[in-house]
Amino acid sequence: MSITAAMPTAKKRPRRTRTKRVSHLPAIKLSRLLPSHIDLHDPLKPSVVCADCETWVPITGMQSKTQKLVPHHTGRADVAAAIRCRSSNRLVEWDLTIPEWHKALTDAIKEAASRTATIVLPKAFSPATDQTLRARAQRTPAGRLADWTTVLPGVAATDAHRQVVPAGDAPTQSPTVPLDKLKIGH
């Protein structure tokens, strides 16, 4: 479906909302989220990754009794269609302190750093390998055709030599070989 001027687009997400509505979904527990999906660097402006639409969403009401996700759309602001995410106004349960989050985040960073690949060293080239690679790079279709025409007489001679029946006595116990089926190029 194409977007026209009459269709509403997602709006910029506000930091504070003054609605008393609360989502019917269960509260989000911060301890169950990945540490990399939580941003508590500024405790008065925290944000988390929404579990439904996978976008960063601010948490509102930090100085009030109830903290919840800001009402937000599933798409990017001013680009996508204005479809309200079902996790809008969802309560946030603070079962994780900022030092605990920071420790979990540093542990996750250390674990991820240990999994990263080391620098791949290039394979040392021998002069023969270098010569082969340079020759491949310089080959043209006309050069390949010329190479094939020089090899073609040898291939034809080998095929003719295969069709020759060896001289001498044939084995007596084995069945005869049908010579009419051995012709190549049917």
Query: For residue 73, how many other CB atoms are within 10 A of its CB?
Result: 21
Return all residues near 61 (Cβ < 8 A) that are at least 6 apart: 67, 68
Q: What is the pLDDT along the chain (186 residues), one digit of tens a residue?
A: 555 556 666 666 555 566 778 888 898 898 898 988 999 888 888 999 988 888 888 888 887 888 888 888 777 766 767 788 888 888 998 888 889 989 998 988 888 877 767 777 777 778 888 888 888 888 888 888 888 899 999 999 998 888 777 777 666 676 666 666 655 654
Give pLDDT, residue 162.
83
How confident is the model at residue 6, as a pLDDT? 62
From CA 148, how far away is CA 151, in angstroms rounded? 5
pLDDT value of residue 72: 82
User: Which residues have CB under 8 Å from 14's CB, separation 6+?
Assistant: 70
**Residue 150 confidence (pLDDT):** 92
